[in-house]
Amino acid sequence: MSGKSERKRIRKELWVKYLKENPPEGYDAISKRVNASYAHTQDIRETMKDTGLPFDLVWEMVGFKDEMDWMGAGE
């Protein structure tokens, strides 16, 4: 692999990592994307892979956090 193509590959990887950590979309757009993915996969881990978002964010956006908080509030 030439030096130029290697630098291009590294730049692309860095850009993808940056976008995953700093999505250009707002909360509403991310939430719609997460919920659409979850509706298709019905699986938190697959939705994480599909969206590139961490577990806690996906868990919260599909509503499981609210459900667990609500269940805990009844104690």
Domain map of the chain by residue range?
A: 25-75
- pLDDT computed for residue 11 by the predictor: 82
CA distance 55 to 26: 18
Look at the pTM and tell me if it is higher than 0.85. Answer: no
* Spans of the chain, pLDDT less than 70: 1, 65-75
- pLDDT computed for residue 74 by the predictor: 52
Distance of CA 62 to the CA centre of its chain: 11
- pLDDT computed for residue 26 by the predictor: 79
Eight-class DSSP state of 25:
S
- pLDDT computed for residue 3 by the predictor: 78
Q: Which residues of 25-63 are buried (b: 16+ CB within 10 A; e: fewer)?
A: eeeeebeebbeebbeeeeeeeebbebbebeeebbbebbe
- pLDDT computed for residue 65 by the predictor: 63
